[in-house]
Structure 1
Amino acid sequence: MASPSPRFSVLQRLYEPKLLTVLRHGYRLEDFRRDLVAGLTVAIVALPLAMALAIASGVAPEKGLHTAIVAGLLISLLGGSRVQIGGPTAAFIPVVFAVIQKFGYEGLILCTLLAGLMLIAAGLMRLGALMKYIPQPVVTGFTAGIAVSIFLSQIKDLLGLRIDALPAEFFARMHALAQHLDSAQLAPASLALGCIALVLALRRWRPNWPGFLIALLIATIASTALSLPADTIARRFGAVPAALPDFDIPRIPFERTLEMFPSAFTIAFLAGIESLLSAVVADGMTGGRHRSNGELVAQGVANVGSALFGGLPATGAIARTAVNVRAGGRTPVAGIAHAGFLLIFMLVLAPLMGYVPLAALAGLLVVVAWQMADVESFLHLMKGPIGDRTILLATFALTVAFDLTVAIEVGLVLASFLFMHRMSEVVEMQSNISLLDHDEGNGEELDQRAQLPPGVEAFQISGPLFFAVANRLDEALNQLPTPPKVFILRMRWVPLIDASGVTALTQFLRRCELQGTRVILSGLRPQPLAILRQMHIHPDGQQLRFASDFSEAIASVRADQRPRS
């Protein structure tokens, strides 16, 4: 039997869906049982979220369900991650709301279709790896900004304000909310706050229970039984149809394609970033490795499919993916099962969904926005260099006050200028170093491997540890067949480190700790040492140590291995 051609092997490695890989390696009945349970668990979490996300975006709740079913199915069928769960996400709410306000729902369908084609093209051009080069302050800034936008979009339903239409533009929206604050109602506010409190309580004391669904059920029962004066899905949108989504090829107004291109690009960019971030998180939880370019192609196909069924933009959902992993899902079959269960829920429970109070859904989205804001990461980056803080705050403010497209453009431009400035500083620093300054030399560099005691590995970084190279730290561990007892990271030739580099180093240290590997950082220069201290990365003498040079690091390891009398 002829072996596959090298070109076919490369294409298989880049684009073969993980589902085919799993089936080729063997899929057992026990695997199916675990995936089925995980799919059901994720569907229970996704049901209220899909409706809430659709309503927050300004469309009927069934649009969110259709998106979760169609896009979720296609992402799991074709994706490059074993456990990725796809569907509508909170990140799209301000973008979708603004597009509908500007172009109408047909315009959103076209933007989603164009975004899907862009994602397919990005995957085929192998641009998946480039997504890693987005600086951490930009990602954290626009993510936190989106979270604030989501919260502001929910104040109307959260307080039951009597506003006919909420403007999409930030300043007009804030003016409208301020003018109608006196129309707040007790019943909707009580339902929303009750849902928030219940979800947070369940997460603390019963973290394995489906908190969103439980809170929604209790709020719906209370609202119906007590006849509370609170808007429901049925009152605002009518009955939720218990039917399959309709396939329809939209009329494409090509004359407006250029006008819609920036919005479509924003959707594609956001879908690509969030899906690959979710895949990276999933890899960390399962120990697997996703195919980034294959994932982009799958996301593109899923968005095209969602548009053809009248749905919303879709991407990988980090929270639902994490739920899938914790529930035992290990293959794409879990994601397929999740889409199937959602379809069953919609067909069976559609008549009851109309009783759900909108204030309860708003409460759930407030919890989602708080999670998405990731305040801890935001505050951590605020301890970094002033340039990173400037990028973070600028991206955050522009996302809230204007839109995501402007925020990302400005954030990336600022990051580029900051990078060039830092590189000029590096040249200055290096020009002042004597060529005879070899405190780690003495022939040790040429014979590094021979010096290492058993169970010890070493890796040397040469050059600045900034956002474009931060992810290479994980590659050092992936090259090793088994986790070492001690990992020496030689940093003598690292002249500077930025906030993204510290974030990557923190994740590297956490991964080493989980696999029982102690880390020694040797030869730290003044700037990296100062930034590590500023961002509270300190040696503890056990898990993490600092050594002045490589020789001291080796001596420290040997001292630990020496038998104690």
Structure 2
Amino acid sequence: MTDTTAPSAVRRMATHLRSLLPSADDYRSAKRTWRRDLIAGLTVGIVALPLALGFGISSGAGAEAGLITAIVAGVVAAVFGGSNVQVSGPTGAMVVVLAPIVATHGLGAVALVSVMAGILVLAAGATRLGRAVSFIPWPVIEGFTLGIAVIIFLQQVPALTSPGVHGASHTNVAVEAGESLIGADPTYLLWSLGAVAIVAACMLLLPKLHPAIPGSLVGIVVVTLVSLILPSPLRVIGDLPHSLPAPAVPAWDLSTLSALALPAVTVAALAAIESLLSARVAASLADTGPYNPDRELVGQGLASVAAGLFGGMPATGAIARTAVNVRAGGRTRIAAVTHAVVLLVVVLAVAQPVGMIPLAALSAVLMVTAVRMVHVATVSSILRSTKADAAAFVITAIVTVSVDLIVAVVIGIAVAGVFAIRNLAGATGVHREPIAGEPHPGDERIAIVRLDGPLFFAAADRVADEVTSLGGVSVVILRMSQLELVDATGARILTEIVQRLERDGVTVLIKGVREGHEELFRTVGVLDALRHHKHLFATLPDAIAHARSHIERESA
């Protein structure tokens, strides 16, 4: 007989790899939607400009790195990613991770980390890990988002307090923000707060006049004009390149790779999580076609690698920009590519005017963006849902701000998992049932015990205690037909229950073993622990009749 396992495995792998590559189907609807795609791309480009500049500066990599990432990663992720409408580039979450990397390893580490993380994300997509994000509970995601929003907001405070160049003086952003406020230059702080007020007002009020008005861009233009007309102390972006740099492999050696291995894993995990969440949200906003999570990881991995080769920073799918794209009418990858082209035109044509933008204006954009990341209704609904979900949300948010993003996600999942296991263990039932029908002499010495729900490690000891604590019985009938999930620990505890009862002189009969459990029970020894192989029954009446025969023999 021919073994077809290997060829079929090869075919499945080939099919999977083909699904990760661009195809003509990506642009099937472009003939109908290209005009809307171009308009959406222009809209997103305008929205993305201040964010790319701000996130680049806030990360410590510089405005140039932010623009390069938005352009290069924006095109690569649009072509190779798994979503038709995802817009990629530098994001606030990535800034939070990159800032300490720059502070510890220097600016030169950003490009190398981008390439390393991109390779890891690419490998995750190739090995079908795209569905893993579905294992992250919603409260953990929201707690993670709240923590990121707080960090982004606090990161802007030092840039508003004095005209000096700010490096990270403390690993905790809250402490650094507090120290910068204590040592603030009153005059500079007053100017900065004025700039923040102007930008925030434009972002909040102008869209109410017309949704198409880019409030952040208008606010930045107003602040820039004011700082040029009046003698202003506000620091500006400074010189920007008039073209993209030539691609080059970042300098590396084994010691550098070793030092950056853990940061790269952190960046890769964050890039994968944020990109998949963004793609999933985009798919729910409108009929944008299906998205392939594995291909999305491949595209985001390639995007980060490409950004690193051009001297940029790691990229992820950007939820805010992707949402703007969908709401502006974007339906194919043409929109995301157009957004990158708009930013490229900025670099090629208006780099000098852009360099005159005060940093306080960009900080204001990021502050408003951070506030908008937090939805009060969502927070309220989580806090009022269950104690377990509220705890996971609060703990994730606190750990995100005080420790680390990825640690926060891990701890949040662990907390949610512990509560879920506890609740699942509580669903395991141990019920003593009466014997139906006409009573027989000695029936009081027969105990019918129904086990239902899941029987696994968290509930095993409780089940054992309840079953073996039955007193005054000679026969115990264990009804198994209602058992759902059973793991090895649960099967093992059943073995110990049977052995303990038999050792105490109680005959154990088992009724209704499910087909899916029988092999596990044989392997672990549940059935071998029975006194006789005929003590296994398919129906309850047969088990009761056998139990009564035992009672009769004992009474004779």
Alignment TM class, shorter chain as reference: 0.7 to 0.9
Cα distance in 1 between the residues matched to 2:152 and 2:242: 28
| CA deviation map 1:356-379 (0-9, x unaligned) | 011111110001111223333222
Q: TM-score, normalised by structure 2?
A: 0.72
Task: Give the residue type in structure 2 aligned to 1:176.
Answer: E
Contact 2:162 2:185 in 1 (8 A): no
Partner of 1:368 in structure 2?
A: 369
**Residues 1:190 and 1:251: Cα distance change in structure 2 (over 3 Å):** same
Instruction: Tell me the equivalent position of 1:98.
Output: 100
Q: 2:15 aligns with which of 4, 10, 13?
A: 10
1:339, distance to aligned residue in structure 2 (A):
1.1
Q: Helix, strand or coil: the match of 1:233? A: coil
Q: Secondary structure at the match of 1:247?
A: coil
Residue equivalent to 2:316: 315
- Please point out which of 158, 161, 181 is paired with 2:160: 158
> Deviation digits for residues 440-492 of structure 1, max 9, x if unmatched?
xxxxxxxxxxxxxxxxxxxxxx999xxxxxxxxxxxxxxxxxxxxxxxxxxxx
Query: 2-side partners of 1:200 and 1:158: how far apart?
Result: 20
Aligned to 2:283: 283
Residues 66 and 90 in structure 2, CA contact (< 8 A), matched pair in contact too: yes
Q: Greater CA deviation, 338-347 or 372-381?
A: 372-381
Equivalent residue for 2:506? none
1:263 maps to what in 2?
Answer: 263
Where in structure 2 are the equivalents of 1:101-116 lying within 5 Å? 101-116=103-118
Q: Distance in 2 between matches of 1:302 and 1:116?
A: 7
Letter in 2 for 1:72: G
Tell me, yes or no, if the aligned pair for 1:116 and 1:302 is still in contact at 8 Å: yes
Say yes or no: does 1:409 pair with 2:413: no
Structure-1 separation of matches of 2:416 and 2:409: 10
Contact 1:394-1:411 at 8 Å conserved across structures = yes
Alignment CA distance shift 1:230-1:420 (3 Å): same
1:117 counterpart residue number: 119
Residue 342 (structure 1) shift: 1.0
1:505 matched to which residue of 2?
none
Cα 1:285–1:435 shift into 2, 3 Å: farther
Whether 1:246 aligns to 2:246 is: yes
2:295 aligned residue: 294
CA contact (8 A) 2:37 2:334 kept: yes
**Native 8 Å contact 2:61 2:313 kept in 1:** no
Partner residue in 1 for 2:38:
36
Q: CA deviation at 1:416?
A: 2.4
- Structure-2 separation of matches of 1:348 and 1:417: 55
Q: Which residue in the other structure is 2:427 paired with?
A: 426
Q: CA deviation at 1:388?
A: 1.8
CA deviation profile, 1:250-269 (whole Å, cap 9, x unmatched): 11232233332222122111
The Cα shift of 1:284 comes to: 1.2
How much does 1:338 deviate?
1.3
Match of 1:147 in 2: 149
Residue 35 of structure 2 aligns to a residue in which SS?
A: helix
Question: Does the 8 Å CA contact 1:36/1:337 hold for their aligned counterparts?
Answer: yes
Q: Deviations over 1:95-150 (max 9, x none)?
A: 11011011112222222212111111111111111111111122111211111111
Q: Which runs of 5+ in 1 are unaligned?
A: 437-461, 465-492, 495-565
Within the candidate set 176, 191, 196, 1:187 is matched to: 191
* 8 Å Cα contact 1:148/1:373 also seen in 2: no
Is the contact between residue 43 and residue 341 of structure 1 (CA under 8 Å) also seen in structure 2? yes
Output the aligned Cα RMSD: 2.6
Distance of aligned partners of 1:137 and 1:262 in 2 relative to their CA distance in 1, 3 Å threshold:
farther
How far the C-alpha of 1:207 sits from its partner, in A, is 2.1
Query: In the TM superposition, what are the counterparts of 1:188-207 in structure 2 within 5 Å?
Result: 188-207=192-211
Question: C-alpha distance in 1, partners of 2:366/2:317?
Answer: 18
Q: 2:408 and 2:430 mapped to 1: Cα distance?
A: 36
Consecutive unaligned residues of structure 2, counting only runs of 5 or more, are 1-9, 436-451, 455-482, 485-556
User: How far apart are residue 160 of structure 1 and its match?
Assistant: 4.0
- Look up the match of 2:307: 306
Q: 1:266 to 1:224 in 2, by over 3 A?
A: same
Aligned residue number for residue 213 of structure 1: 217
Q: Give, in whole Å, the separation in 2 of the partners of 1:295 and 1:205.
A: 36
Summarize the Cα distance change of 1:341–1:175 in structure 2 as closer, same or farther, 3 Å threshold: closer
Distance in 2 (CA, whole Å) between partners of 1:355 and 1:56 is 17
Task: State the Cα distance separating 1:415 from its structure 2 match.
Answer: 2.3
Which residue does 2:231 correspond to in 1? 227
Q: Deviations over 1:323-364 (max 9, x none)?
A: 111222111111111111211111101010121011111110
Q: 2: CA distance between counterparts of 1:230 and 1:178?
A: 17
SS of 1:249's partner is coil
Question: 2:400 corresponds to which residue?
Answer: 399
Residue aligning to 1:347: 348
By how many angstroms is 1:412 displaced?
2.3
Letter in 2 for 1:129: R
Decide whether aligned partners of structure 1 residues 177 and 159 sit closer, same or farther in structure 2, where only a CA change above 3 A counts: closer
Residue 423 to residue 125, structure 1, CA distance change in 2 (3 Å): same
Q: 1:203, 1:144 → 2: CA distance?
A: 24
Over the matched positions of the two proteins, sequence identity in percent amounts to 37
Deviations 1:142-173 (A, max 9, x none): 21111111111101223446574332411651
The residue aligned with 1:333 is 334
Are residues 169 and 26 of structure 1, via their aligned partners in 2, closer, same or farther at CA, if it must alter by over 3 Å? closer
One-letter code of the match for 1:177? S
Q: Aligned AA for 1:401?
A: S
d(CA) in 1 for partners of 2:200, 2:256: 42
Deviations 1:194-246 (A, max 9, x none): 11111111233322211111111111111111222211112xxxx11111133
Once the two structures are superposed, residues 267-298 of structure 1 have per-residue CA deviations (whole angstroms, 9 ceiling, x without a partner) of: 11111111111111211122221000000010
Which runs of structure 2 are paired with 1:165-176 in the superposition (5 Å)? 165-170=167-172, 172-176=175-179
Relative to structure 1, the CA distance from residue 174 to residue 285 in structure 2 (aligned partners, 3 Å threshold; closer, same or farther) is closer
- CA distance, structure 2, for counterparts of residue 200 and residue 322 of structure 1: 17
Cα distance between partner residues in 1 of 2:417 and 2:248: 43
Equivalent pair of 2:158/2:176 in contact (CA under 8 Å): no
CA contact (8 A) 1:247 1:308 kept: yes
Of the two, which has the highest radius of gyration? 2
Whether the 8 Å contact between 2:158 and 2:177 is mirrored in structure 1 is no
Stretch of structure 1 that moved more, 149-158 or 164-173 = 164-173
Letter in 1 for 2:183: H
Deviation string, structure 1 residues 304-327 (Cα, Å, up to 9, x no partner):
111111101111111111111122
Q: How many residues align?
A: 429
